[in-house]
């Protein structure tokens, strides 16, 4: 056991950190800067980070869940308004069924509450499906029932964007949208594959949440050092210090369990990977909401304005929290894994 990042993983983290520090928005106003956002998209594509889960020669992904998590954490920390979760999850689905990588930008579709992948029965999607992390995407992958498993298909996406997260748009899929089967699939998606794929999605969102929390702690400590009241920096008041200390601790605990989830994706059996990821997701989701709420509180009135980054952090955390299930769904999976829960349906 040695859970420190390898030298290569540290290099990857540093590279992601550089891109984030150079191209991510530092104020709410900068989200509208299309030139900056375009450069960020281009940098992420050029770095090859969207291909981490495409297949290498032996069919395994180029990079493990750990590398994906390393990049995801940095993007979350920097509130990167670029696609990563969606394309990464789509690439992993294609890899699992042995299809070739997408040649147009692609993401995945989830149920309306974001907790489940979309299963298109009868060749069309039902009500309320949404494509997540859909910036630039022209299609989204769904599952098609096939015997005991699934194959994959795609639906075309329109351009209407909504959603809680200002950095990663969600596109609702019209009910009845036609699904076209992806060409060249070599094997169906089995139960173990699907568990592992969900584990990846949970691990990526956990890493994103850890990044958001670390970003929130940094931004908020900076503010607490500079804002003065009663003739003193507000960061010198014990009540404020304790909120920030708790936020820091929550981020560290989350980082530890999220790291394990990222490792488990490729190192454990599907069900064990899913259990590890579920525990991490429940923990990180609860922690991230609380940390972002602290960020708003410590910023005072400004924290409640559109122009303050605190709500952008919270919004991103709320979306990441719900993808493939938030607190409730994941606690249920933890109980089920210990033999004392129900079943969450699709396994």
The 3 state secondary structure assigned to 160-177 is CCECCCCCCCEEECCCCC
With 0-12 / 13-18 / 19 or more C-beta atoms within 10 angstroms meaning exposed / middle / buried, residue 33 is middle
Q: Is residue 60 a contact residue for other proteins (CB under 8 A)?
A: no
Q: Is residue 15 a contact residue for other proteins (CB under 8 A)?
A: no
Closest CB to other proteins among residues 25, 65: 65
Closest CB to other proteins among residues 164, 332: 332
Closest CB to other proteins among residues 187, 242: 242
Distance from C-alpha of 172 to C-alpha of 132, rounded to nearest angstrom: 9
Per DSSP bridges, beta strands 171-172 and 149-156 are unpaired
Distance from C-alpha of 274 to C-alpha of 42, rounded to nearest angstrom: 32
One residue of 105, 188, 235, 270 binding other proteins per CB under 8 A: 235
Q: Is residue 62 a contact residue for other proteins (CB under 8 A)?
A: no
Distance from C-alpha of 93 to C-alpha of 72, rounded to nearest angstrom: 18
* Contact map string, positions 240 to 259, toward other proteins, x by CB under 8 A: xxx-xxx-xx--xxxxxx-x
Q: Is residue 229 a contact residue for other proteins (CB under 8 A)?
A: no
Closest CB to other proteins among residues 252, 293: 252
Least gap, CB of 341 to other proteins (angstroms): 7
**Would you tell me how many other CB atoms lie within 10 Å of the CB of residue 286?**
18
Closest CB to other proteins among residues 6, 56: 6
Q: Is residue 223 a contact residue for other proteins (CB under 8 A)?
A: no
Closest CB to other proteins among residues 100, 236: 236
What residues form DSSP beta bridges with 106? 139
Least gap, CB of 342 to other proteins (angstroms): 10
Distance from C-alpha of 108 to C-alpha of 118, rounded to nearest angstrom: 9
Least gap, CB of 309 to other proteins (angstroms): 18
Distance from C-alpha of 275 to C-alpha of 283, rounded to nearest angstrom: 12
Who's near 199: CB < 8 A, 6+ residues apart?
65, 261, 264, 265, 270, 273, 274, 276, 277
Q: Is residue 332 a contact residue for other proteins (CB under 8 A)?
A: yes
Per CB under 8 A, residues contacting other proteins are: 1-6, 9, 66, 217, 221, 224-225, 232-233, 235-238, 240-242, 244-246, 248-249, 252-257, 259-260, 263-264, 267, 276, 279-280, 282-283, 331-332, 334-335, 338-341
């Amino acid at each position: 056991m040695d859970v420190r990042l390898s030298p290569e993983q540290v290099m990857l983290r540093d590279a992601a950190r550089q891109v984030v520090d150079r191209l991510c928005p530092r104020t709410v106003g900068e989200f509208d800067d299309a030139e900056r956002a375009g450069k960020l998209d281009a940098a992420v594509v050029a770095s090859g980070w969207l291909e981490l889960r495409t297949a290498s020669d032996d069919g395994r992904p180029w990079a493990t869940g750990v590398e994906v998590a390393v990049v995801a954490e940095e993007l979350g920390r920097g509130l990167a308004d670029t696609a990563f979760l969606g394309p990464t999850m789509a690439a992993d689905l294609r890899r699992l069924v042995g299809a070739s990588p997408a040649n147009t930008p692609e993401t995945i579709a989830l149920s309306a509450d974001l907790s489940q992948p979309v299963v298109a029965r009868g060749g069309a999607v039902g009500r309320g499906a949404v494509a997540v992390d859909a910036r630039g995407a022209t299609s989204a992958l769904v599952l098609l029932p096939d015997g005991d498993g699934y194959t994959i298909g795609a639906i075309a996406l329109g351009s209407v964007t909504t959603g809680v997260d200002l950095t990663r748009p969600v596109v609702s899929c019209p009910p009845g949208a036609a699904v076209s089967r992806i060409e060249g699939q070599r094997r169906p998606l089995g139960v173990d594959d699907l568990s592992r794929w969900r584990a990846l999605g949970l691990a990526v969102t956990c890493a994103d949440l850890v990044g958001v929390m670390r970003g929130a702690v940094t931004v908020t400590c900076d503010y607490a050092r500079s804002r003065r009241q009663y003739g003193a920096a507000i960061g010198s008041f014990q009540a404020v210090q304790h909120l920030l200390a708790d936020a820091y601790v929550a981020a560290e605990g989350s980082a530890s369990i999220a790291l394990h989830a990222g490792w488990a994706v490729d190192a454990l059996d599907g069900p064990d990977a899913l259990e590890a990821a579920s525990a991490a997701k429940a923990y990180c989701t609860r922690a991230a909401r609380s940390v972002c709420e602290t960020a708003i509180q410590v910023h005072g009135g400004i924290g409640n304005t559109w122009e303050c980054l605190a709500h952008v952090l919270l919004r991103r955390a709320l979306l990441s929290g719900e993808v493939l299930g938030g607190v409730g769904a994941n606690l249920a999976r933890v109980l089920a894994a210990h033999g004392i829960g129900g079943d969450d349906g699709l396994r």
